[in-house]
Amino acid sequence: MIGVIGSISTDFVVTTNRVPKQGETVYGQAFETTFGGKGANQAVAAARLGGRVQMFGCVGGDQFGQETKANLARNGVDVTAIKTIEDTTTGSAHITVFEGDNAIVYVPGANQEVTVDYLKSVEADLLACTYFVIQNEIPMPSIQYLIDLADAHDIKVTYDPAPFIEIDKAYLEKVDYLLPNETEAKEMFGDQDVDALLGQYPAQLLITMGGDGIRYHDGEVAVHVPAIKGEVVDTTGAGDTFSGAFTVALSKGNSLADAIQFASIAGSLSVQKFGAQGGMPTIDALKAHEKFNDSWQV
Ligand code: RIB
């Protein structure tokens, strides 16, 4: 079982041809409400690709709480450990999409209630997982608690440090896979030579670079995996799709290199449709891709 511990949110998405300056009003082209939250996105990505996934998180007692939970269940995610907190609003993200790329203001709401106490209340379910997927849209003490719990119980951890929050480096040593994008890698490690940095975390640190692919160190050499090109409609959720897909591929017994290729296909398909979860592929869609390799375990 893959346990995704993280945010569950509603995305309020505005598409615009021009991003307003501070104090300015511009006309937008469209407004949509879609399902999001980095954690929920990772869970949906993993479940659509054939993973057995349980979501751990909190929603508010509003309509968005019910809708986001129902959406996870519809996508095949186990929602039994999700807690509803009646007097709180469900997490939300306020997104501007401009030329296919996005800018996000995240308001945690109930995601702030994913506390250590909550995690202790669902510990039996957490310990039934073989993989944890974690990101930074829940409180840092909870992230640290989960990394320690995983370390003590031999649970593998995929940690996507987005959005960036300062974390003690000792915790980074304990995670199995660390997946920052280029900006987060700089915030985390400073402006150092990328190959030298990757060499310090072989087969552990993967830097995702959007249209420029992925870089990591395989234990012998630094590797650059080019991105799989395709039409880009909306990049929202591409990183979450990558993390979820990558973890599913590893959980099925694929090698690190194959898991990266598998996740790259998933990421490239995800940006071809609107919304964080709109383009996330099913396993059948991924198998139909020309770069799919029949020797992969799915
Ligand atoms: O990674 C994309 C997600 O981050 C969006 O779905 C939004 O919820 C934001 O917080």
Q: Is the pLDDT of residue 120 over 90?
A: yes
Instruction: Summarize the chain as % helix, strand, coil (round to 5).
Output: 35, 25, 40
Task: Using pLDDT thresholds of 50, 70 and 90, give the confidence band for residue 10.
Answer: very high
Question: How large a percentage of the chain has pLDDT more than 70?
Answer: 100
Structure tokens, 151: 């370390």
Q: Residue 219 — left, alpha, or beta (φ > 0 → left; ψ -120 to 50 → alpha)?
A: left
pLDDT in tens, 15-42: 999 999 999 999 999 999 999 999 999 9
Average pLDDT, stretch 131-135? 98
- 85 CA → ligand 1 middle, Å: 21
Which of 4, 32, 64, 104 maximizes ligand 1 atoms within 8 Å of its Cβ, making it the mutation to test the pocket?
104
Q: Residue 164 — left, alpha, or beta (φ > 0 → left; ψ -120 to 50 → alpha)?
A: beta
Question: How large a percentage of the chain has pLDDT more than 90?
Answer: 95
Task: Using pLDDT thresholds of 50, 70 and 90, give the confidence band for residue 230.
Answer: confident
Q: Write down the pLDDT at residue 100.
A: 76
Q: Is the pLDDT of residue 214 over 80?
A: yes
Q: For tokens 């959720």, name the residue.
A: 237
- Rounded to whole angstroms, the Cα distance separating 7 from 2 reads 16
Tell whether 275 is in a known binding site. yes
pLDDT in tens, 141-196: 999 999 999 999 999 999 999 999 999 999 999 999 999 999 999 999 998 999 99
CA distances from 130 to 11, 127, 149, 231, 242 (A): 30, 8, 12, 35, 19
Average pLDDT, stretch 276-292? 97
- 14 CA → ligand 1 middle, Å: 14
Which of 236, 243, 280 maximizes ligand 1 atoms within 8 Å of its Cβ, making it the mutation to test the pocket?
236
78: annotated active-site residue: no
- Rounded to whole angstroms, the Cα distance separating 82 from 71 reads 13
pLDDT in tens, 54-95: 999 999 999 999 999 999 999 999 999 999 999 999 999 999
CB 265 within 8 A of CB 155: no
pLDDT in tens, 84-110: 999 999 999 999 989 878 899 999 999
- Rounded to whole angstroms, the Cα distance separating 187 from 150 reads 25
